[in-house]
Structure 1
Amino acid sequence: MSSSFATHLLNITTGGSEAVIDLTADCEQFLTRIAPGLDGLLNVFVPHATAGIAVLETGAGSDDDLLAALQTLLPADDRWHHRHGSPGHGRDHVLPALVPPHATLPVIGGRLELGTWQSVCLVDTNKDNPNRQVRLSFLG
């Protein structure tokens, strides 16, 4: 049985506000190019200490609900020991404990096996760093 591995780096600009960015189309384009008809795993990884990867419904308010929930759980105030950057930035460094910096997803026949309403998303609450990288890696 032969195996294949390929990786690709996405450069994402999130802007100056908290954001949930849908990466599903980027993931599908990557798989179309490097894994046509193959079965395997897609790993999505954000190499930043203040961002995460989530699988959730987007476009129907769930992305805004996630950001609101994170604001409630991790308020941007002066309670954080990590104090560089904008006020409350320490919360951004706690985010990856709740929204991990990676997700590994099944690929069947070259396509992501997501549920009907699931999307792969970058979650970024760090207003100080609008430039993010996301690594897509396929192992099949």
Structure 2
Amino acid sequence: MAVYSASFTIDTKGNADIIDITPEVSDIVNSSGLSDGIVLVYVPGSTSAITTIEYEPGLVHDLKAALERLAPEGIVYQHNEKWHDGNGHSHIRASFIGQGESFPLIDGKLLLGTWQQIILVDMDNRPRSRKVFVQIYGENSYS
């Protein structure tokens, strides 16, 4: 079993900015030389998340609207009362989705559905530079 690790950085606009990171993850998978295993995609931090979606304008809008319904920005959060940074909703939203996802690697290809893309969602209330880590646990087809 081999482990391959890499990362990339994405600059975001914040405020539930949703970014398709499938090309960056696929490039890392292709560079790994591994053929079969598991691909972990992870973003550190408590105000961002990794998930999948059909990345098209309608669903991007719908996801942002759903996050606003689940954890509205304009209500009282104890976090804001303590830290006065106005991003209590950001922490709650990110906790619903989570900071990482795992995907199968089969015959050197990331297994995703036809309309499925990997996305980074930055929930913070300001632009951020997010470092995304990709770690692949797998077998090398040449071993």
Contact kept, 8 Å, 1:7 with 1:138, in 2: the verdict is yes
Higher strand share: 2
Q: Percent identity?
A: 29
**Cα offset, 1:60, TM superposition:** 4.3
Q: Distance in 2 between matches of 1:65 and 1:121?
A: 14
- Residue aligning to 2:141: none
With normalisation by structure 2, the TM-score equals: 0.88
Contact kept, 8 Å, 1:54 with 1:121, in 2: the verdict is yes
With normalisation by structure 1, the TM-score equals: 0.90
Where does 1:31-42 land on structure 2 (aligned, <5 Å)? 31-36=29-34, 38-42=35-39
Q: Distance in 1 between matches of 2:52 and 2:116?
A: 6
Q: Distance in 1 between matches of 2:91 and 2:126?
A: 12
Query: What 5-or-longer segments of structure 1 have no aligned partner?
Result: none
Q: Distance in 2 between matches of 1:24 and 1:85?
A: 35
Contact kept, 8 Å, 2:14 with 2:122, in 1: the verdict is no
Where does 1:1-140 land on structure 2 (aligned, <5 Å)? 3-36=1-34, 38-83=35-80, 84=83, 86-87=85-86, 89-140=87-138
Query: What 5-or-longer segments of structure 2 have no aligned partner?
Result: 139-143
Q: Distance in 1 between matches of 2:118 and 2:36?
A: 18
Higher helix share: 2
Alignment root-mean-square deviation, CA: 1.5
